[in-house]
Amino acid sequence: MTIQWFPGHMTRARRQIEDKLKLIDVAIELLDARIPLSSRNPMVDDILQGKPRLVLLNKADLADPAITAEWVQYFADQGLKALPMDASTGTGIKEILPRCKELLSHKIEAQLRKGINPRAIRALIVGIPNVGKSTLINQLAGRKIANTGDKPGVTKGQQWIKFGTDMDLLDTPGILWPKFDDQNVGMKLAATGAIKEEILHLDDIAFHTIRYMIDYYGERLMDRFGIGDLPEDTENPNEVIEVMETIGRKRGCIVSGGRVDLDKTSLLFLRELRSGKLGRVSLEVPPEY
């Protein structure tokens, strides 16, 4: 299955970001801590044109903490500051403004030496759909300003949001890129909910994700779904499908004739993965690890 999702408003959003870039002091790039590389738009480097950048690893409460620590070091090696956080609970939120001021310290100090009182930091927030931008904005504001939802594509336009006297934040719609050269990227994005389910074959997404979990988080599957044994050869698709059918039978996803409803099973599995009921799971590690 080939996964692509690039609605027209994403093209407009890119043009709008580029138009506003001259007003921006710092960019806040929001990634999914479970898939930091796959949730990173490869066009962003070109779009931001070298602006100082803070990377936020959102949904860190759902990611494997040991793997997240490796990602923080990975970004540090790239010359980028990365901050694990959880926009839904507010964990890590208070560190965002100090980190942005640190990135702009030379500019702020130069203004102070000239006797200029630094104005509010103008920050741009960018990220793919459903990565938590609107939730983050509402946490920063302490009230609901931006629309949120558990489906991608909620934010459709730009808006400036003022946070006290220290920061003005430009919210933008989530932007994917026109083509996934690596379909594994598309699978990971789909598994974490960044692509609309209506255009997906959920059984394919669940199949690939369960195969990964058998290899790296097998005990989570066994504990959560009461599975006795897992296959050793995940390259054999029949073995993985057998695990999917076991999950379906354990959860009552049965159709007439006693067959397992793989569509219902897949939806159930993905919902439990996304909600953290399978524990803290990271679906990729830094390239050098």
Q: Which residues make up each annotated binding site for GTP? A: 58-61, 130-135, 174
Which one-letter amino acid corresponds to residue 158? Q
Instruction: Write out the binding residues.
Output: 58-61, 130-135, 174
Give the H/E segment covering residue 15: helix 8-20
By CB neighbour count within 10 A (0-12 exposed, 13-18 middle, 19+ buried), where does 46 fall? exposed
What CA–CA distance (Å, rounded) separates 25 from 67?
31
What CA–CA distance (Å, rounded) separates 173 from 9?
8
3-state SS, 223-284, equals HHHCCCCCCCCCCCHHHHHHHHHHHHHHCCCECCCCCECHHHHHHHHHHHHHHCCCCCCCCC
Encode 234-269: b = buried (16+ Cβ within 10 Å), e = exposed: beeeeebbebbbbbbeebebeeeeeebbbebbbbbb
By CB neighbour count within 10 A (0-12 exposed, 13-18 middle, 19+ buried), where does 145 fall? middle
Beta strands (DSSP E) in 53-208 are 53-58, 81-84, 121-127, 159-163, 167-171
Do 137 and 161 contact (CB within 8 A), yes or no? Answer: yes
